Amino acid sequence: MSDVVTSSPAAASSPAAPTGAVTADGRGGRTAGTVFKAVVWAALLVVLLALPLYVNEFWLRTGFVVFGAIVGAIGLNLLVGTTGQLSLAHAFFLAVGATTYTYLSGSPGGFTTKVGGLALPPVVGGLLAVLAAGIAGLLFSPLAARLRGIYLGVASLGLVFIGEHVLNTWTSVTGGFNGRSAPGFSFFGFSFSDADKPYLAVLGVPFGQSERLWYLGLALAAVSYVFARNLIRSRPGRAMQTLRDSEVAAAVMGVNVQAYKARAFFVSSMYAGLSGVMFALSVGSIAPESFSLAVSVQFLAMIVLGGLGSVGGAALGAVMVAALPLVFQQYADSLPFVAGVGEGGIVAGEAARFLYGAAVILILLFQPSGLAGLPQRFRRPRRPAGEVTAFTPGEPAQGAAPAQKTEDRPTQSS
């Protein structure tokens, strides 16, 4: 596979790996397109690295929320987009991650409700939280592996409600209905919160909590991105995609279907767990309502907007869905269609939901490969791009399929 990338230094340049047809070539070398992409990626990285020097705290905080969403969306996309397993349980796995982190690294105490805590170093708490979410995914996977496609979607719904109930009930760990505050992050003595930090300034810009969290988020999102990209283009990724397109074909080609579904769940929920930890850090607290079904639906919207199966698409979708309500909120005054709180009319959160709800519908109707498929649509008109990139889980890819199919079923569109 993508031998092109092996010649370049590991992590940073991997996002520059060429897509699709170029990749598989393996020895195509650095074509003009590859170089162009590398330049774009490098520029993006520089901008993202330099941003804290120029923008205000609102954007940095929004940025960290978005990075967390990116991690979660990439994880859900591995499960739904790549492996074809519809899951509405993502919010549940986020909750497992966030709660585990908060409990393990939090301190016991609380005013109205007593909560426990192990006060472990945040790095340890964070890692264990990710692992715990993964294990929760593994525990669910035997059920998931037995259910065929759409049954899984509805069954996973149950997990969210059960999870919410546990969050409300298990007060000593979760803080119950009102939730509890989440410990700040620190990394070998370097703190990411405003609480106890050595003063730090770069180029005269003080580096407080939001600047530091920005870089933490950027690093975690980048690593998550690169890992998922690599995964999809490798042996496990091919097996997962075949599982999506035809379970029978995958099995007959030697893929252990049950085991692979379980692993897909494991990886996906670890991503969710990390996203949950980042969420706890961005808000500074956790509460049951933060992990409701609406959150699962939001993540689903992200990956559909971006384009199911595309890692970059998931990231793009996450940026849109996660940032919109915050941005609308911030700039409610200057946006004609958004009202401030209490003014009547459409408030920021609602405007954002209308927008991405409608976007999901429009994307599915007119651009099934999502935002990620847009460039292809314009770049190579000679190839029926929609056909190739369109996501078709659960149906064997068929030869002359798209055209043939409509012919076969003449009455269906009537």
Partner 1 sequence: MSGATAVGAPAPGDAGAQPELRPIEVEDISVRFGAVRALADVSFSVAPGTIHAVIGPNGAGKSTMFNVLSGIYKASSGQVRYGDAMLTSMEPHRIANLGIARAFQNIALSGTQTVTENLLLGRHHLTKAGFLSSGLRLPRATREARRHTERVREIATFLDLGDKLDTPVGVLSYGDQKRVEVARALCIEPQVLLLDEPVAGMNADETQRMAEIVLEIRDALGITIVLVEHDMGMVMGIADRVTVLDFGRRIADGTPVEVQADPEVIRAYLGAGDDSGDDAAADSEPPFPSDEERTS
Partner 2 sequence: MTQFLSLLLNGISLGVIYSLIALGFVVIFKSSEVVSFMHGSLLLVGAYSIVRLQDPLGFWGGALAGIAITGILGLLVDRLLLARMRGAPVISLAILTIGVDIVLITELTRLIGPDILNINHPWGGQVLHLGSVGITANRALAIVVAAVLIAAFFAAFKYSNWGVAMRAAAEDGEAAALMGIRLGRVSALAWVVGGVLAAVAGLFLVGSPTPGVTPAVAAVALRAFPAAILGGLDSTGGALVGGLLIGVAESLATGYQDQLAFLGRGFGSVVPYVVMIAVLLVRPSGLFGTRELTRV
List residues near partner 2 by CB under 8 A: 80, 84, 86, 143, 146-151, 153-155, 157-159, 161-162, 164-166, 168-170, 247-248, 293, 297, 300-301, 304, 308, 346, 350, 353-354, 356-361, 364-365, 368, 391-395, 405-406, 408-414
Shortest distance, position 366 Cβ to partner 1, whole Å: 19
Q: Report the SS3 class of residue 190.
A: strand
When the beta carbons of 264 and 322 are compared against partner 1, the nearer one is 264
**Interaction partner, residue 360 (partner 1, partner 2, none; CB < 5-8 Å by kind):** partner 2
Contacts (Cβ under 8 Å, ≥6 apart) of 244? 82, 83, 84, 309, 393, 394
The residue among 128, 319, 132 whose CA lies nearest residue 221 is 319
Q: Which pairing describes strands 180-181 and 186-187: parallel, antiparallel, or unpaired? A: unpaired
**Which of partner 1, partner 2, none is residue 393 near (CB under 5 to 8 Å by kind)?**
partner 2
Q: How far is the CB of 175 from partner 1 (least distance, A)?
A: 34
Residue 202 burial (CB count, 10 A):
10
Distance of CA 285 to the CA centre of its chain: 20
Closest separation between CB of residue 300 and partner 2, Å?
6
Residue 272 and residue 274: Cα distance in Å, rounded?
A: 5
Which CB, 64 or 291, lies closer to partner 2?
291
Q: Is 275 in the site for partner 1 (CB under 8 A)?
A: no
Q: Which is nearer to partner 2, 1 or 143 (CB)?
A: 143
Residue 174 and residue 97 in contact, taking contact as beta carbons nearer than 8 Å: no
333 and 93 Cβ atoms separated by less than 8 Å: no
Judged by CB under 8 A, does residue 383 bind partner 1? yes
Note the helical H segments in 78-148.
Answer: 90-105, 122-146
Residue 148 interaction partner, one of partner 2, partner 1, none, beta carbon < 5-8 Å per kind? partner 2
Instruction: Name which of residues 279 to 338 contact partner 1 (CB under 8 A).
Output: 309
Using CB under 8 A as the binding rule, whether residue 1 contacts partner 1 is answered as yes
Q: Using the rule CB under 8 A, is 37 a contact of partner 1?
A: no
Partner interacting with residue 1 (select from partner 1, partner 2, none; CB below 5-8 Å by kind) = partner 1
Closer by beta carbon to partner 1, 3 or else 343: 3
Between 128 and 308, CB nearer to partner 2: 308
Q: What one-character DSSP code corresponds to residue 88?
A: S
Name the burial class of residue 28, with classes exposed (0-12), middle (13-18) and buried (19+) by CB atoms within 10 angstroms of its CB: middle
**400 lies in the binding site for partner 1 (CB under 8 A):** yes
- Smallest distance from partner 1 to CB 78, Å: 10
Which token pair is 314? 């998931």
Yes or no: say if 181 and 117 are a contact pair by the CB < 8 Å rule: no
- Is residue 387 at the binding interface for partner 1, with CB under 8 A as the rule? yes
- Tell me the one-letter amino acid at 27: R
What token pair was written down for 20? 């699709």
- Our finding on whether 397 is near partner 1 (CB under 8 A) is yes
Query: In degrees rounded to 5, what are phi and psi of residue 51?
Result: -50, -45
Other beta carbons less than 10 A from residue 124's beta carbon: 13
Residue with smaller CB distance to partner 2, 123 or 249: 249
List the one residue from 102, 263, 271, 348 that touches partner 1 (CB under 8 A).
263
CB of 365 to partner 1, least distance (A): 20
> Phi and psi dihedrals of 310, rounded to 5?
-105, 125
* Residue 107 binds which entry of partner 2, partner 1, none, CB below 5-8 Å type-dependent: none
Q: Which of 121, 143, 197, 245 binds partner 1 (CB under 8 A)?
A: 245
Which partner, partner 1, partner 2, none, binds residue 283 by CB below 5 to 8 Å per kind? none
How would you write 264-280 as a 3-class SS string?
Answer: HHHHHHHHHHHHHHHHH
Q: Are 305 and 370 in contact (CB under 8 A)?
A: yes
Q: How many alpha carbons fall within 13 Å on the CB side of residue 404? A: 5
Q: Which residues bind partner 1 (CB under 8 A)?
A: 1, 3, 5-6, 10, 14, 20-22, 24-26, 227-228, 230-231, 234-239, 241-242, 244-246, 248-257, 263, 267, 309, 383-384, 387-392, 396-401
